[in-house]
Structure 1
Amino acid sequence: MAPGLIGTAALAVVVSLAVHVVLNCPIQPVPSPPLPAAPYPPNNLLQGLEKLGEPGLIAPEDVYVDAAAGGTLYTATRDGWLQRMHPNGSWEQWRFVGGTGLLGIAPSADGSMIVCDAHKGLLRVEEKRVTILASTVQGSTIRFADAAIEAADGTVYFSDACTRFGFDQWFLAYIESRPTGRLLKYDPRTGDASVELDNLAFANGVALSRDEAFVVVCESGGFRCSRLWLKGEKAGQADTFVQDLPGCPDNIRLASDGSFWIAIHQLRSPLLDLVTRWTWTKRFVASFPVLVDRIMATAKGAMVVQVSENGDIIHVLDDSEGKVINFITSVTEYNGDLYFGSLSTNFVGKLSLANVSQGKKEAHVTDVQ
């Protein structure tokens, strides 16, 4: 082919791609925040976990352990079931809710379960019925209900991850980087929901401090967690609880000593870092679903961190290459063990904290202070 024809063909391809992006790009990206550094060397302590329920669980995103029921474990899976593992290790399909969007689960004082359905909103699941508590808030649709926690007075704090994209397009919300997430509150006395915080960078996990003086909401797109004070002189004020996390925080749970365990996504790879560097690369990738899938698949690894009541990182556990578990979405402490949920597994992970301590001694791993 003559050089002139080659140049013309190349120009035609470029123009065609540009037109495709203009007509089909689903995102309106803004610059991403600076990527977190990697100050913690891999320890791969998560590779020692035990797999529970394998292979019968389809992407168990969140995990809750009921101490009052002797350690009965609950999780929600992509086939629409709330499933539970009894203390003897047997599994039961407990309640069928339906759909593929069951995410955060939390106990209610009345014995029911609070469930976030990414598509339907905030649910209450009882033995014989499912009730939608909130599908809208102050006139707007709750598009991506994600995680919830109930306070002692029955108030439920929960997150709406993004107002532009739903659960099936969470990666588009991440690379778009627009802070449209919200922390919401459901008041059982009035049956109304309200917006407590907005402009959050992909609002995710929610947890109350042990004295319920504040509520923490994770911002996956900002590598941080924000805090809303509920009591004391700062009541009604918001600030940053912890920032510069070594990845994207997902779910957060209160630990036995008043600290918090946070699941951290490792949404990093040389290719993914390149894509999120510029808004034009974000637009290009988002316009081709096959590219989105392939780039998502390059992110490997799993991590959880323990954060003190003051927001200091004190422990980091990981599976640096995702060899045993990948894409951890929740971590729950119960009776000396950690339990892990993930959208990339067919099991719930379990790891003894005693084994973690022994592994650190053998590997000469120093905790972060």
Structure 2
Amino acid sequence: MPISERVPTWAAVPAVFAVLAVISYQTLITPYNLEGAKNVLPMGKTIPLPVDGPESIEWDPQGGGPYAAVVDGRILKWRGDDLGWVEFAHTSPHRGNCSRHGVVPTCGRPLGLTFEKKTGDLYICDGYLGVMKVGPEGGLAELVVDQAEGRKVMFANQMDIDEEEDDLYFNDSSDKYHFRDVFYVVFNGERSGRVIRYNKKTKEAKVVMDNLRCNNGLALNKDRSFVISCESSTGLVHRYWIKGPKAGTRDIFAKVPGYPDNIRLTPTGDFWLGIHCKKNLIGRLIVNNQWLGKLVEKTVKLEFLIGLMNSFKPHGVAVKISGETGEILEILEDKEGETMQYVSEVYERDDGKLWLSSVFKPAVWVLDRK
């Protein structure tokens, strides 16, 4: 008897849909493989936090820390295994309704952290309040700058300091969105991101790069001759020349895989970039088609959008690029998300250890590469 006579037609329908679903997932949602990546991040040691989202970490001039910027508006300091995490500072005086698991705008959302070595002051990019500063004793941070060239700083993200010139360089990632809606900025195609230079002596805030698409990480190079800023949407790393024959001009320094977050200079003059997740086909389609990105913004819940970005399987990636040429030197990953997920920053210490943090998870991690 022919198969068509033995099996009812309706019985084949679920099987067809199942096959199409598998093909669609493999084609649209499965993340791209990263050629040459080393799956070593699962070997990192986990240091839990009592609150989510240590987006950025930093050490003070005496080597104390790390300090971590967390989701409830505070900066916590690690005092070792015996004392654990203690509160060091906060960016907003409004602490009554702050959540350890989600952003409350009135509490602020500290992101990038940078210590000024000569003063011991900690500078904080807050995704709601602007660029803040707190002294070596901690406490409530004070506002440094929240506007540039007549436009309010809506989304201060990461910064670096040229201490010789008393210049602060920082990202303002959007003129429409604050931190909580960052993924809409990634997908909807808007190009209102800026890199701003603020001089502490003159109090002047000047835009040195604009027309950026969700610029996220920022760092000065070792001799302070240029500053780089990466776009999370495109993976492009833009460079602005501060000194030398190209001073005042900009170019493309590098392109990295995935959706990059913070940038940190290494002791040898290269850069580490934290990568939120690898890209997949559906993410690329949304990012590269503005009409589709705007449709997603209006119709898709943010939680689902985040899951779609990371293929519904959070993982961790770190990329090292040359401080001279921008070429990719190394890619490390936690392919299955066994230990590290949503990596937002990679900080290489003088002893060679890599400290990694996460914009969402309640942990930092340490990878001893020796």
Q: Which of 300, 317, 324 lines up with 1:303 in the alignment?
A: 317
Query: 2:360 matched to 1:344?
Result: yes
**Equivalents in 1 of 2:34, 2:363: separation in Å?**
30
Q: How does 1:14-29 map to 2 (within 5 A)?
A: none
Query: 2:332 matched to 1:325?
Result: no
Which residue identity does 1:149 align to in structure 2?
D
**Equivalents in 2 of 1:41, 1:241: separation in Å?**
21
Deviations 1:229-284 (A, max 9, x none): 111111111111112x1112211111011111111222534543454454443333
SS where residue 285 of structure 1 aligns?
helix
Which residue identity does 1:142 align to in structure 2?
V
Query: 2:152 matched to 1:141?
Result: yes
Note if contact 2:173-2:214 (Cα within 8 Å) is conserved in structure 1: yes
Q: Percent identity?
A: 28
The structural deviation recorded for 1:87 is 5.2
Note if contact 2:189-2:290 (Cα within 8 Å) is conserved in structure 1: no
The structural deviation recorded for 1:344 is 2.0
2:259 corresponds to:
248
Query: 2:89 matched to 1:95?
Result: yes
Q: Relative to 1, partners in 2 of residues 1:317 and 1:222: Cα closer, same or farther, differing over 3 Å?
A: same
Query: 2:307 matched to 1:313?
Result: no
2:45 corresponds to:
50
Deviations 1:34-58 (A, max 9, x none): xx97452553211111111x14132
The structural deviation recorded for 1:164 is 2.2
Deviations 1:118-174 (A, max 9, x none): 111111112355221111111101110000111122210000011122111111111
Q: How does 1:21-100 map to 2 (within 5 A)?
A: 38-52=33-47, 54-66=48-60, 68-86=61-79, 90-98=84-92, 99-100=107-108
Query: 2:113 matched to 1:115?
Result: no
**Equivalents in 2 of 1:97, 1:283: separation in Å?**
32
TM-score, normalised via structure 2 length: 0.80
**Equivalents in 1 of 2:201, 2:49: separation in Å?**
41
**Equivalents in 2 of 1:308, 1:276: separation in Å?**
26
For structure 1, the 5+ residue unaligned runs are 1-35, 355-369
The structural deviation recorded for 1:295 is 2.7
Deviations 1:291-315 (A, max 9, x none): x321311313221111112211111
Note if contact 1:272-1:295 (Cα within 8 Å) is conserved in structure 2: no
For these two proteins, the number of residue pairs brought into alignment is 315
Q: Relative to 1, partners in 2 of residues 1:138 and 1:273: Cα closer, same or farther, differing over 3 Å?
A: closer
**Equivalents in 2 of 1:267, 1:179: separation in Å?**
22
The structural deviation recorded for 1:205 is 1.2
**Equivalents in 2 of 1:248, 1:269: separation in Å?**
11
TM-score, normalised via structure 1 length: 0.80
Deviations 1:78-123 (A, max 9, x none): 1111111135663211112232411000001311100001111111
Deviations 1:2-56 (A, max 9, x none): xxxxxxxxxxxxxxxxxxxxxxxxxxxxxxxxxx97452553211111111x141
Q: Which of 277, 285, 290 lines up with 2:296 in the alignment?
A: 285
Note if contact 1:251-1:262 (Cα within 8 Å) is conserved in structure 2: yes
The structural deviation recorded for 1:222 is 2.1
1:225 corresponds to:
237
**Equivalents in 2 of 1:39, 1:288: separation in Å?**
31
**Equivalents in 2 of 1:220, 1:276: separation in Å?**
10
1:9 corresponds to:
none
Deviations 1:166-218 (A, max 9, x none): 11111111111222110001110111211011011211111111111111111
Note if contact 1:70-1:87 (Cα within 8 Å) is conserved in structure 2: no
SS where residue 59 of structure 2 aligns?
strand
